[in-house]
Amino acid sequence: MRIMKKILSLLLVVTMTMAMGLTALAADGTQADTNVTTKTVTFNIYKDKEELLAGPITVTVDSGTTLDKAVEKLMNYFPNFKFGTYQGEAYRYLESMIINGEAYKSESSTTVNGNHGHYEGSDWEYYVGEKMNDNTYGQVYMSSYVINDNINVFLNFAYSSFDW
């Protein structure tokens, strides 16, 4: 009888352990994530702060999507990205798009002489907000900007030249 009680106790422990493990697996592995929501990204496309494409283009993305992935949804304009690394951080940046049949491709040159340098060229830049100004200029790479709200984005193909 004692052996039977020990076997039943052991069987009960094994059964409870397996039941808890399966419950945890079901909670973590099989339930759908119901917290994912969709967000609207409204794009306005400019060249040197002059409207290049009449009217905005709207795309829908899941919350948590990065801005570069939202730009990829502008498929009719063939966005092309390049990869880079800065201070150990890998990033993607918009290199070119085709607007109204014309290619707008980033082209620039940088020269460095000791502690001084010069940059000159045309590149794609982005602004997030209601207006395109210095307060809304993108402070992180597109591949680091996470979309958690409905946003307005101004893509601007611009020429700049500066020394440091």
Q: Where are the domains of the chain?
A: 1-31, 38-163
Residue 7 has which token pair? 């076997």
Segment 17-38, tens digit of pLDDT: 565 554 444 444 545 555 679 9
Could you identify the residue written with the tokens 């004692």?
Answer: 2
CATH 2.170.130.30 fits 38-163, yes or no: yes
Segment 139-163, tens digit of pLDDT: 899 999 999 999 999 999 999 999 9
pTM summary value: 0.73
SS3 helix, strand, coil % of the chain, rounded to 5?
25, 45, 25
Distance between CA atoms of residues 146 and 136, nearest Å = 15
Please name the residues in contact with 122: beta carbons below 8 A apart, sequence gap of 6 or more: 104, 106, 107, 108, 157, 158, 159, 160
| pLDDT score, position 25 | 46
